[in-house]
Amino acid sequence: MDVTSMDVTSREPSLPSPRGRISAAIIEYLRNTGPLPDDGAMSAAAPLGDDLQLALYICYELHYRGFADVHADREWAPDLLKVRAALEQPFLDTLRDAATVHRHADEALDDLLVEPVDGCGVSHFLRDEGELWQVREYAAQRSLYHLKEADPHAWVLPRLWGRAKAGMAAVEFDEFGGGRADRVHARLFAELMADLDLNTAYGHYLDATGAEALATVNLMSLLGLHRALRGALVGHFAAVEITSSPGSRRLAQAMRRTGAGPAAEHFYDEHVEADAVHEQVVRRDVVAGLLEEEPHLDGDVAFGADATTYLEDRLAERLLGAWRAGESSLRIPARPAFRPRTGSPVPARTRDEAR
């Protein structure tokens, strides 16, 4: 597929299909056809479930590209912001209760350097035994973040200063292609998707993506949009950069073994080298610089790293549970977008359909 024809530019995605009372009400509100959800519906929703996570994702997306036929001024609609805050609180409370492991940033980040001996993660699975349809599903699930890669982290820049700001800006500059549009990481991921015959349109796989993947993206938006959570955002960013290089190496090997294509290989090869450098900058300049200026944020940095690990583990459990059962991890199977590919077929049933 010609890279210049990929739909990753300014087109706004359509509103998704609802997954419950809360997301349905927010969608109707944005369409000017109904009121926002009431307190009863919001208090009854599972904090990590499909309905609340989709509702949060929709609210946050208004701060990115928005949605087709939704007026841009809805981004700051006071009544919608009030609803978003009511949805954020149980999400944040759940993470603080379930994910908190470490009290100090150094402990949390040091533990991330120790990989499990059994090597049972998603990147291990895809490298060792994954099939092409599973690689495609992984890319579809991750596309909601990677097509906006580094954007949530940019929100923290005005909230940092000195060494932390300079280090963060240096890493973000690399993520955004070092001044070259063809090297922007979101663009490189779109090229990966084209190699895998996936639709490259921004937000295309929102309806197909499960709550576990939505939560990983929502965490970045939540932490990025709140100045009070700047320490947690730095912890999240550090966790991503520390774990990225070894995981990307395994994923690059998976792309080669499954014949995913040169652009798919290049995306992860790029991250092996770049993120090995970023890890050092983030720990030495961003984390250390922040805590030098604001030592009281030590626990927040640890929480950001812990919450990231917790949500990534939940996503891995969903993916591996479905794949080992021979089922799709997606709510809607990712059919080839551009041309037929050889290799193993997509399972006939999604995991949700099999229940």
64 pLDDT higher than 50: yes
- Whole-prediction pTM value? 0.92
For the cut 70, the answer to whether the pLDDT of residue 255 exceeds it is yes
DSSP 63-128: TTT--TTS-GGGGG-HHHHHHHHHHHHHHHHHHHHHH---SSHHHHHHHHTS--TT--SHHHHHHH
Tell me: the pLDDT tens digits for 219-253?
999 999 999 999 999 999 999 999 888 999 999 99
Report domain extents, the chain. Answer: 9-95, 103-354
pLDDT one-digit tens code per residue, 86-145: 999 999 999 999 999 999 999 999 999 887 656 789 999 999 999 999 999 999 999 999
pLDDT value at position 67?
97
**Mean of pLDDT values over 3-17:** 70
Average pLDDT, the chain: 91
Residue 342: pLDDT over 60: no
Q: What's the pLDDT tens digit per position in 258-292?
A: 999 999 999 999 888 776 778 889 999 999 999 99
Which fold, 103-354? Answer: Heme Oxygenase; Chain A (1.20.910)
Q: Which residues have C-beta within 8 Å of that of residue 136, sequence separation ≥ 6?
A: 196, 197, 198, 334, 346
329, 137 contact by CB (below 8 A): yes
- % of the chain with per-residue pLDDT over 90: 84
Confidence band for 348, pLDDT divided at 50, 70 and 90: very low
pLDDT value for 278: 83
- Sequence-ordered alpha helix ranges (H) in 259-350: 262-281, 288-293, 298-324
pLDDT recorded at residue 113:
86
Q: Indicate the pLDDT class of residue 299, thresholds 50, 70 and 90.
A: very high
The CA-atom distances, in angstroms, between 267 and each of 145, 163, 193, 291 are 14, 29, 10, 32
